[in-house]
Homo-oligomer: A and B are copies of this chain.
């Protein structure tokens, strides 16, 4: 059992002290060698790292999880792990921040016992909540340890995480703040005065104060918090640069390595040999140690698709809600757990049915999108299929950097944006998310899908549920008709299987092609009908995978004299640049025009908003006619 005995023995204290001394030397050597890094906080956090990595349950399942939220203390983490035998000490020291090495400037997952890459302050406690939920759901006897800096406490996301942890009784979290009173610009009391203890207490947490360099106090604090009725925060009073007199309490050493003289003085204070030249030489070579990234496989039953007729009068977000509930029915309790996160919009994003049926797996995060996005991301890496549904403006605009850190962590998140585009209508410009395609285009590990009717939504949602990786799937707010084939049957039904990267030719034509997605597909069909009256046959292509061109469909389309993109999205960052890139490469000789949003939208009925922007069926038909006639 972790932290089993009441107290550390004298031998253990002596050993920890010895390891700490050596690790401090490693920290100073690696940062000086790299010429960059954060020695100050690495040293103030070090003693807590040593105790945790010595006594927590890290090597046997179910194991405790560790989040280093102030990821810049990586030298402290590496040195502690190396001195405890979990990483090769010489490689860690020699190759810190060397290009391509696993010993990165900020802690990444794959380092022993570390399951979350960090670097952006303020997100770690939220990630910890994600792992804590996983542990509770799996009924594991395991804890989550979240280490944080004190300057970091200024980030607002932490207050959101505290409230969430308290609400959901995540008593299996132990947070520890390295309270060295310094941040880059100086004293935390000067940079941004904060009542850290009162902040935690006001959100219903318990706070324990200890000396962060006293191994007994650290050990006892970790031991006692294992039986707390509240989430606990250990406020560890520490000294930046502890043990090297000239470094102590100097903010200068937050982010600056020592110079040669300082380094020699420090080694002397630590009574350590100077092996700098050895490491310098070694750094010219190559490391051998490799991180091993923990990855859970999911066993999702994606069920059988639902097919809707137009008479079902279903909007796309409701189609998502129905498929989600179906996935719950098929999977929960039968091999794969599914969790869904909401930010006070369940009624609108249609996760309510799932929530009512599976209250234990439905998490109401409140109006705390930053926290919720990170929790969902972290949870999604634990073998639990995780959905986070929100309005576009909250689910990606407000939380872009949380999505980005999720992406860097190769999470397995299914992000559903229900309200996107000018389609949002009367709520106005702040709520009209017209940049989601452009934003997600920056996230290398996110695939983005915008289905065009309830049948495609159903199939795409099942696809993302069954496919590993991050997906952003947008539904739109309004109800759009079911797309039918020329024969009147639903286009996306029996013969159709969703395949990522495929484009769908929903209407044939030879006088030009219009490429579109989401709610504009049905409009494009109407535009086609208008043009048909003038004897023009417009091909209509649905590009639901908005970042991908489908070679087969596109090769055929190159024969068209006109190609248009038409989207309810910022015209500069949607599908237009994807298509222009393709057409340029292929040497397309026809005329290309892009239609999309060129200013923030007005507040009104969707049709009114489109009309102001010239994107309604009538305006578009007129515009295309002028071009094509």
Report the separation of the CA atoms of residues A105 and B594 in the bound assembly, to the nearest whole angstrom. Answer: 29
CB distance from A223 to the nearest CB of B (A): 28
Q: Does A51 contact B (CB under 8 A)?
A: no
Checking B183, B393, B400, B570 against A367 with a beta-carbon cut-off of 8 angstroms, the contacting residue is: B183
For the complex, what is the distance from the CA of A598 to the CA of B442, rounded to whole Å? Answer: 10
B residues less than 8 Å from A140 (CB atoms): none
Residues of B within 8 A of A345 (CB): 184-185
Cβ of B34 and Cβ of A426 under 8 Å apart? yes
Bound together, the chains give a CA A184 to CA B201 distance in angstroms of: 27
- A383 proximity list for chain B (CB < 8 A): none
Chain-B contact segment, one of A131-139, A147-155, A239-247, A500-508:
A147-155
- A62 partner residues in chain B, CB cutoff 8 A: none
Chain B residues positioned under 8 Å from A583 (CB to CB)? 584
- Across the interface, do B119 and A428 meet the contact criterion of CB distance under 8 Å? yes
Highest count of chain B CB atoms <10 Å: which of A157, A401, A585: A401
A95-103, A262-270, A290-298, A552-560: which one contacts chain B? A95-103
Which residues from chain B contact A442 at a C-beta distance below 8 Å?
434-435, 438-439, 570, 572-573
Closest to A606 in B: B99
Docked complex: A596-629 residues within 8 A CB-CB of B? 598-600, 602-605, 607-609, 611-612
Docked Cα-Cα span, A308 to B469, in Å, equals 49
Give Cα distance in the complex from A14 to B120, angstroms: 55
Supposing A155-B368, A604-B101 touch, asked if A439 and B439 sit within 8 A by C-beta, the answer is yes
Q: Could you tell me the distance between the alpha carbons of A193 and B364 in the complex, rounded to whole angstroms?
A: 11
In the bound complex, do residue A430 and residue B444 qualify as a contact, i.e. CB atoms below 8 Å apart?
no
A316 at the interface (CB under 8 A from B): no
Q: Tell me if A285 counts as interface (CB < 8 A to partner B).
A: no
- In the complex, which residues 556-580 of chain A have their Cβ closer than 8 Å to any Cβ of chain B? 570, 572-573, 576-577, 580
> CB distance A344 to B183 under 8 Å?
yes
Stretch at the interface among A81-89, A159-167, A450-458: A159-167
What chain B residues lie within 8 Å of A607 (beta carbons)?
Answer: 99
A602, B100: Cβ atoms closer than 8 Å = yes
Find the B residue at minimum CB distance from A166. Answer: B193
Asked if residues B397 and A97 are in contact (CB atoms below 8 Å), the reply is: no
B573 with A584: CB separation less than 8 A: no
A151 touches B573 (CB 8 A): no
Question: Would A203 and B192 count as touching, CB distance under 8 A?
Answer: no
Rounded to whole angstroms, the CA-CA distance of A101 and B100 in the bound complex is 55
Write out the residue numbers on chain B whose beta carbons fall within 8 Å of the beta carbon of A195.
202-204
Using known A-B contacts A400-B400, A431-B119, A604-B101, determine if residue A347 contacts B585 with beta carbons closer than 8 Å.
no
Could you tell me the distance in whole angstroms from the C-beta of A111 to the nearest C-beta in chain B? 12
- Contacts A199-B159, A368-B156, A400-B397: A98 and B608 contacting too (C-beta < 8 A)? yes
- How many angstroms from the CA of A399 to the CA of B397 in the assembled complex? 9
Which B residues are in CB contact (< 8 Å) with A192? 163-164, 167, 344, 364-368
CA distance A318 to B185 in the complex (A): 17
Tell me if A328 is interfacial: C-beta within 8 Å of chain B.
no
A99–B612 touching, CB < 8 Å: yes
- Docked-complex contact B573 and A438, CB < 8 angstroms: yes
Known: A160-B156, A573-B441. A427 touches B105 (CB 8 A): yes
Is the Cβ of A36 less than 8 Å from the Cβ of B202? no
Contact pick for A97, options B120, B426, B612, CB 8 Å: B426
A433 to chain B, nearest CB (A): 10
Besides the known contacts A119-B431, A576-B581, 19 further A-B residue pairs in the complex with CB atoms under 8 A apart:
A99-B608, A100-B608, A101-B604, A119-B429, A154-B367, A154-B368, A155-B160, A155-B368, A156-B157, A156-B159, A156-B371, A163-B192, A166-B193, A183-B344, A183-B366, A191-B364, A192-B364, A199-B199, A398-B401
Which residues in A have some Cβ–Cβ distance to B below 8 Å? 34, 36-37, 71-72, 97-101, 103-106, 108, 117-122, 151-152, 154-160, 163-164, 166-167, 183-185, 191-195, 198-199, 201-204, 342, 344-348, 364-368, 370-371, 393-394, 397-401, 404-405, 408, 425-431, 434-435, 438-439, 441-442, 444, 547, 570, 572-573, 576-577, 580-581, 583-585, 587-589, 592, 594, 598-600, 602-605, 607-609, 611-612
Between A and B, 24 residue pairs with Cβ closer than 8 Å are A97-B603, A103-B603, A105-B428, A105-B431, A106-B427, A151-B367, A163-B192, A163-B194, A166-B193, A167-B192, A185-B342, A191-B344, A193-B204, A195-B202, A199-B199, A393-B401, A397-B401, A397-B404, A408-B430, A439-B439, A439-B442, A444-B599, A577-B577, A584-B592
